[in-house]
Amino acid sequence: MLGPNGATPSRLSWSTSATPMHSRPVFRFAPSPNGALHLGHALCALIGFERARALDGRFLVRIEDIDAGRARVKFIADIFTDLRWLGLTWAEPVLRQSQRLAAYAAAAERLKAMGLLYPCFASRAEIASAAREAPCDPDGAPLYPGLWRQAPAADIAERKAKGAGFALRLDMARAMAAARLRLAGAALTFTELDERGSARTIPAHPERWGDAIIVRKDVPTSYHLAVVVDDAFQGVTHVTRGADLLAATDLHRLLQLLLDLPAPLYHHHRLIMDAEGRKLAKSAGDTSLSQLRRQGLTPADVRRLVGLAPQPAIGAMKGVPRRQTLE
C-alpha cells in the first residue's frame, strides 16, 4: 500500500550495515560559503548534530565551496563561529570540496567511459528559446530540449578546437537503461526517515530531471556529482537536509547506482518560512544567525524560533535507525 508521497512502508532491520560504511553512524552538515547562515541552516545543523550524538555517531561539517566565484573565506570562518555558538562540535579535519576536484573529475570520467555524458555548448538563452514549450523539472526550470544530445562528433570537435566552453550533461535515457540493467527488475528507491526515525521506502524517478548537468561550464563538477562522491568518501550514513532537496535525491540515487556508491539514509526536514510563506534564503538577505546573536538572542532562542524542544539529553533519540539492512 502506498504511503505519503508515493512511499511504501519499509521492513528494515538496523543492527548491521549492508554497505561498506563506518561502524558508527555518520551525519554531516554541508553549507556553501556564499552567504551567512540563517535559521534554516540552524535547524539542519541541530537536527544532524543531535541525531549523531544520540546514536554515538560522528558529526561532520563539510564546506561545499566548488563555486569559486561566490565562495568567500570570510563566510567559512563565520560558519564555524555560528556553529560553535549553537553549541555544536564536529570531527576534524573539515573537508572542503574545492580541494576534491580531482575526485569529481575521476567520477565524471567514469560516467563518460560508460557513454552516459555528452558535451553541451548551448547558452542559457538558446536553451530557454528551444525549451519554451517543454515541461519543467522539479525545480521549475524547463527540461533541457536535447540540443547537443545527438550532435555530430565533427561539430563537437570544432567547438572544442575553438575553445568554446561546455557543460557535461547526463544522457538520462541511457542512464536509466544502464540503471535498469543493474537493478535487474528491482525499483530504484531510497530510504527516508521521518522526525521520529520511522523509515519509508520511496521510489526514485530521476528521469523527471531530464539530461541534468553533471559538470558545469564554469565549475569542474556540479552539486549533484560532488555530493554523492563526498558522502561516499566520508562514509556518511545519514543525510539530513531540507525538504527542498527531496526531489534531488532521485538524481543522487541514480548517480550512486551508476558509480557503485553506497546509499545513505535520508531525512528531509521541514523548511523555515518567513511571514509571507517564503523559504529563508541567503540570496534574499534573510536575517542571519550572526545578526540574531548581535541582537542579544541566545542559542535557546534559536531553538525556539526553529521549533525545536529545549536541548535534549544524550540518548533522547534512541529510536532513530542506525543503518540499513533489507530483510
pLDDT in tens, 60-118: 999 999 998 899 999 999 999 999 999 999 999 999 999 999 999 999 999 999 999 99
Note the pLDDT of residue 15: 26
The Cα angle at residue 101 between residues 148 and 158, in degrees rounded to 5:
30
At what angle are helices 101-113 and 223-233 packed, to 10 degrees? 110
The model scores a pTM over 0.75: yes
What CATH topology corresponds to 4-326? Rossmann fold (3.40.50)
Exposure class string for 190-214: b at 16+ Cβ within 10 A, else e: bbbbeeebebbbbebbbbebbbbbb
Note the pLDDT of residue 9: 42
Element (H, E) at 93: none
pLDDT digits (tens, 9 = 90+) for 118-139: 999 999 999 999 998 889 999 9
At what angle are helices 248-258 and 223-233 packed, to 10 degrees? 60
Residue 112: partners with Cβ closer than 8 Å, 6 or more residues away: 168
From 34, 9, 81, select the one nearest 299 (Cα to Cα): 81
User: How far is residue 56 from each of residues 25, 26, 27, 244, 307, measured CA to CA in Å?
Assistant: 7, 9, 11, 28, 24
Note the pLDDT of residue 327: 27
Entry field: residues in the chain:
327
Note the pLDDT of residue 273: 84
Say yes or no to pLDDT of 248 above 50. yes
Q: Distance between CA 149 and CA 226 in Å, rounded?
A: 23
Q: Distance between CA 313 and CA 123 in Å, rounded?
A: 53
Note the pLDDT of residue 16: 29
pLDDT digits (tens, 9 = 90+) for 199-222: 999 999 999 999 999 999 999 999
From 29, 28, 32, 30, select the one nearest 283 (Cα to Cα): 32
Per DSSP bridges, beta strands 213-215 and 199-203 are: unpaired
Amino acid letter at 118? Y
Please confirm whether the linkage preceding 93 is cis (ω < 30° from 0): yes
Higher-scoring residue by pLDDT: 233, 279:
233
Q: Which three cell numbers stand for residue 112?
A: 563518460
